[in-house]
Amino acid sequence: MDRIGEYLVKRLIGEGGMGKVYEAEERLSKRKVALKVLKPELGRSEKGRELFLNEMTILAHFDHPNIVRCLSCSEIDGELVMALELLEGQTLRDRLALDGPLSWMTAVDIVAQVAAALDVTHGQEPPIIHRDLKPENLMLVGGDQVKVMDFGIATAMHAMSKSTTHSVGTLQYMSPEQIDANRVDARSDLYALGLVFYEMLVGNPPFESESPRELLNMQCTSAPPELPSVVRSQLPKGVERLLFALLEKKPADRPADASEVVRTLEPFSVAESAVASRPEPSTKPLEEAPAKTVKAKTQPRTKAPARSDTIALLERASAPRQIPTSWAIGLVAMACLLAGVATYLVRANGSGSASKTPETSAKVEPTR
């Protein structure tokens, strides 16, 4: 069995441009981890090493449901090694390759969770910017719970890029300001999130080209294509507006921060949950079914009770009124009784008028 430092390596999970990922076991605690061994060039820059280790130290103390936990970070034989929580699931890239475009409800749910994770990391001082947000770095576990991976790696690569030709981020998901080597902030991650959002809805990114130069130009200057009519016909207008706001070329034209994305999507996430959890028709009147409000989900998915969100209220207002059977019988009986009383009074008045005759009584003289 191979060994890397204090970790016993079980098997290779994956390999990419950043390095290799192994399933491993901590020698003393027997804890299973995902061991990420980064390429040596990521640690050659002293500044990159410092930023990377600082960022990993911060992330190791996060306990957020949508962020992969970094358990430890060390240097072994000249290589940077991260021990991450071991996740069972599939990346968003694998999900899209298997299923194709996702429903707008699922896409909204995933985007809301990613935005919640970004809201936490962007809120650090200084902010932690992902710089390489893409389907490969989004893990789906326990159904559709999202875990954002690979924070910190792009930061080290960015520091290295000043002295090497190593690319920073993935061209397909880079913001215009990243491509132009301008100042990058939290809104760059939001642009990448918009690209991922579009791909989940349509099945492919908004900008595609076999030519890297043409792709660079499209990312910087071309407006994103309109959504296909089949997608647009089902997508709420508010969600569509947010999608294209995320894809604005100028950072100032995008949402101000990730929390704005979460707030914008919250009503649609609630509506989705209400539709998904709507109970089967029953004989109980609608008025007897209490409504509950449930906030946007960040934990593993479970069916939630019906909610009093805006869409549900509109549906309730437009639905036919349902009256209990006992009430209906009572109303009919009351109507019959009132009709009978009215008929009796009409007949009584008619007979009284017919019996009257001209006055014939004699005048009585007083007794003497």
Candidates 109, 119, 132, 144; catalytic one: 132
Annotated active-site residue 185? The verdict is no
- Which tokens go with 229? 């009519």
- Measured CA to CA, the distance from residue 303 to residue 28 in angstroms comes to 40
Task: For strands 138-141 and 7-15, give the pairing.
Answer: unpaired
Spatial CB neighbours of 364, under 8 Å, sequence gap ≥ 6 = none
The per-residue pLDDT for range 41-83, each reduced to its tens digit, is 777 777 777 877 887 888 888 889 999 999 988 888 888 899 9
Count of CB atoms situated within 10 Å of the CB of 276: 11
Between 100-109, 247-256, 307-316, the lowest mean confidence (pLDDT) is in 307-316
Q: Give the start-to-end residue ranges of the domains of the chain.
A: 3-273
Q: What percent of the chain has pLDDT over 90?
A: 49
Q: Which two tokens stand for residue 240?
A: 């569509």
Report whether 199 contacts 96 (CB < 8 A).
Answer: yes
pLDDT in tens, 150-175: 887 776 666 666 544 444 558 899 99
Q: What is the pLDDT of residue 236?
A: 96
pLDDT at 356 over 60: no
**Residue 210 dihedral angles phi and psi, to the nearest 5°:** -75, -15
pLDDT above 80 (res 314)? no
Q: How far apart are CA 150 and CA 67, in angstroms?
A: 9
Contact partners, residue 116, CB within 8 Å, separation at least 6: 64, 66, 258, 262, 296, 298
List C-alpha distances in Å: 223 to 16, 176, 220.
Answer: 31, 12, 9
Average pLDDT over residues 205-230: 94
Q: Percentages helix, strand, coil for the chain, rounded to the nearest 5?
A: 45, 15, 40
Cis amide bond preceding 300, omega within 30: no
Cα 43 to its chain centre, rounded Å, is: 35
Domain 3-273 has CATH 3.20.20.70: no
Confidence class for position 300, pLDDT limits 50, 70, 90: very low
SS3 for 63-116 is CCCCECCEEEEEEECCEEEEEEECCCEEEHHHHHHHHCCCCHHHHHHHHHHHHH
Q: What percent of the chain shows pLDDT beyond 70? A: 72
Q: What is the pLDDT of residue 243?
A: 98
